[in-house]
Amino acid sequence: MKLVFERSRPGRGTRYLPECDVPVVLPEDPGRGIPLRLPELPEVEVSRHYTALAHQTFGVNEGFYPLGSCTMKYNPAVNEHAAALPGFTQVHPLQEAHTVQGCLEVERKLEDMLCEITGMDAMTLQPAAGAHGEFTGLLLIKAYHRSRGDTARTRILVPDSAHGTNPASASMAGFEVVSIPSDAKGCVDLEALRKAAGPDTAGLMLTNPNTVGLFDPQILEITRVVHEAGGLCYYDGANLNAIMGIARPGDMGFDVVHLNLHKTFSTPHGGGGPGSGPSGCKEFLSRFLPGRESPDSIGNVRSFHGNFLVAVRALAYLLSIGREGVPEAARNAVLNANYMRIGLRDAYDMAFDTVCMHEFVMTLESLKEKTGVSALDIAKAMLDHGVHPPTMYFPLIVHEALMVEPTETESRETLDEAIALYRQLAEEAREHPETMHQRPEHTPVRRLDEVGAARNPVIRYAYEV
Ligand SMILES: *Cc1c(COP(=O)(O)O)cnc(C)c1O
């Protein structure tokens, strides 16, 4: 597809406004050196260009999108409607408080509901993403130890199955990361945890269910070990979709959490935002929260109130599905994942062949050994069939991983179609392995040089000067 700059022809631009007939107060050349180079196209060409681009994107409205760990569920349109109400879009964060009481009520109601769902006592909506929420939560842990004069606690324990943002956030917050191995069942190796926890432990970061889609049944013992060593427990709530309304991190012994409103609570995501990663904590940490008029507050982590319209969507979602709908969504997410897992277990090797939570991980290691067909080949082949591939090569502890999270919003028929496709591709891989390296065949671009794109990104149009 041509770039809009390549379609541009001098003088073809759309002019709605007549030539300016009053003195221009800006200098002729405001320091730019050369005139501003905007593409010149008639409106119809512009419209076609962007419509063609829109046809090339893929979203949950286009098809099945089981991108593990990302919870790409369908977001009901009523939430968009709520977030588009002028009373929410036309406010300014510097308005007098008495003029924005409705907006403040939205925030307060949402904070209360999220506290109830997580078992926390206080919450901030400031953080703009999951990783940002992690960073905020870790600063709370840091502030807590510092307030007690305990400066020896410099290490954060992170299981080796963790999402990459966990060690990254810990490191950003100034901690040293200690990796805790997983046991053969995919859960935390308790012996290794016991050995690692000590007077230098600031805390533990954990997601439960974890990134292999398993609920760690040792969770009470895990948080007890960390607390006994004097550390705090941080819950990465990106996987809350599996347990919301059923089990609460606060009851598992966690002191701090973050949630991904854009995953669990129905804001469209991908492509860079907007997101929201509220951080919650138990009462004893609440004086450290951002946005509080407390001398102990860690300070603001974002301007004003965070991504407010994401909070509006989350509240609309929670109010529309209600107290019964929250656990029902979680149960259906788990049911759908297990339905697919059972439907695929004789066609693909499961990394851990037990009942899973909202997602499961397959390993294509033996398929690759036998046929040369990798997880990447299978994922790319899916693109020819109008579905989004699962997450590839994550978690890192599983080789040739494909991680599938169907979510609760898919029907049984969609799951059956997906199962049939996955099975068909496994069969093709065994029968015609060589063709699998050529896929996809029917997409606008085929295999891309991903490393090249990351190392040498071309993000600027090369004008001939
Ligand atoms: C998505 C995710 C995160 C990070 O959330 P972002 O909003 O992408 O920063 C952290 N942990 C897990 C398990 C996740 O799936």
Buried-state track 230-250, b at ≥16 Cβ within 10 A, e below 16: bbbbbbbbbbbbbbbbebbbb
- Tell me the per-residue pLDDT of 283-320, one tens digit each, with 9 for 90 and over: 999 999 998 888 999 999 999 999 999 999 999 999 99
356 — pLDDT class (breaks 50, 70, 90) = very high
Contact 4, 39 (CB under 8 A): yes
Tell how far the Cα of 180 is from the centroid of ligand 1, in angstroms.
Answer: 19
Output the residue whose Cα is nearest ligand 1's atom 3.
130
CA-CA distance, 305 to 433, in Å (whole number)? 53
Output the residue whose Cα is nearest ligand 1's atom 7.
130
Tell how far the Cα of 138 is from the centroid of ligand 1, in angstroms.
Answer: 15
Tell how far the Cα of 15 is from the centroid of ligand 1, in angstroms.
Answer: 45
Averaged confidence pLDDT in the chain: 95
Output the residue whose Cα is nearest ligand 1's atom 5.
130
For ligand 1, mutation pick of 69, 126, 215, 234 (most atoms within 8 Å of CB): 69
Write down the domain spans for the chain: 77-318, 324-451
Inform me whether the pLDDT recorded for 415 exceeds 70: yes
Residue 212 confidence (pLDDT):
93
Residue 35 confidence (pLDDT):
77
Nearest atom in ligand 1 to the alpha carbon of residue 132 is: 9
**pLDDT above 70 as % of the chain:** 99
Inform me whether the pLDDT recorded for 63 exceeds 80: yes
Residue 285 confidence (pLDDT):
98
For ligand 1, mutation pick of 134, 207, 260 (most atoms within 8 Å of CB): 260
Tell how far the Cα of 260 is from the centroid of ligand 1, in angstroms.
Answer: 7
For ligand 1, mutation pick of 161, 263, 361 (most atoms within 8 Å of CB): 263
Inform me whether the pLDDT recorded for 37 exceeds 90: no
User: How many CA within 13 A on the CB side of residue 146?
Assistant: 11
Output the residue whose Cα is nearest ligand 1's atom 8.
130
**Domain 324-451 superfamily per CATH:** Aspartate Aminotransferase, domain 1 (3.90.1150.10)
Residues with CB under 6 A from ligand 1: 69, 129-131, 163, 165, 207, 211, 236, 238-239, 260, 275, 277
Question: Average of pLDDT values for 122-148?
Answer: 98
Tell how far the Cα of 292 is from the centroid of ligand 1, in angstroms.
Answer: 25
CA-CA distance, 248 to 437, in Å (whole number)? 44
Inform me whether the pLDDT recorded for 203 exceeds 90: yes
Reading across the β-sheet that carries 349-350, which strands appear in turn?
A: 349-350, 360-363, 401-404, 391-392
Residue 465 confidence (pLDDT):
61
Buried-state track 113-138, b at ≥16 Cβ within 10 A, e below 16: bbbebbbbebbbbbbbbbbbbbbbbb
For ligand 1, mutation pick of 235, 236, 391, 396 (most atoms within 8 Å of CB): 236
CA-CA distance, 335 to 359, in Å (whole number)? 10
Q: Which long-range contacts (CB under 8 A, 24 or more apart) does 189-197 make?
A: 190/218, 190/221, 190/222, 190/225, 193/157, 193/222, 193/225, 193/226, 194/225, 196/157, 197/157, 197/225, 197/226, 197/228, 197/229, 197/231
Q: Which residue has the higher pLDDT, 454 or 15?
A: 454
Tell how far the Cα of 165 is from the centroid of ligand 1, in angstroms.
Answer: 7
Nearest atom in ligand 1 to the alpha carbon of residue 258 is: 10
Tell how far the Cα of 71 is from the centroid of ligand 1, in angstroms.
Answer: 10
Tell how far the Cα of 257 is from the centroid of ligand 1, in angstroms.
Answer: 12
Residue 94 confidence (pLDDT):
95
Question: Average of pLDDT values for 46-54?
Answer: 94
For ligand 1, mutation pick of 165, 236, 239, 405 (most atoms within 8 Å of CB): 165
Tell how far the Cα of 265 is from the centroid of ligand 1, in angstroms.
Answer: 14
Residue 153 confidence (pLDDT):
98
- The whole-model pTM stands at 0.92
Output the residue whose Cα is nearest ligand 1's atom 15.
69
Tell how far the Cα of 240 is from the centroid of ligand 1, in angstroms.
Answer: 11
> Minimum mean pLDDT among 21-25, 140-144, 301-305: which range?
21-25
CA-CA distance, 119 to 235, in Å (whole number)? 11
Output the residue whose Cα is nearest ligand 1's atom 2.
238
Q: Which residue has the higher pLDDT, 458 or 131?
A: 131
Tell how far the Cα of 210 is from the centroid of ligand 1, in angstroms.
Answer: 12
371 — pLDDT class (breaks 50, 70, 90) = very high
Residue 259 confidence (pLDDT):
98
Question: Average of pLDDT values for 242-260?
Answer: 98
Residue 1 confidence (pLDDT):
85
Inform me whether the pLDDT recorded for 264 exceeds 90: yes
Residue 304 confidence (pLDDT):
93
Residue 464 confidence (pLDDT):
73
Residue 461 confidence (pLDDT):
84
Residue 430 confidence (pLDDT):
97
Q: Which CATH number fits domain 77-318: 3.40.640.10, 3.30.910.20, 3.40.50.2300, 3.30.479.10?
A: 3.40.640.10
Inform me whether the pLDDT recorded for 29 exceeds 90: no
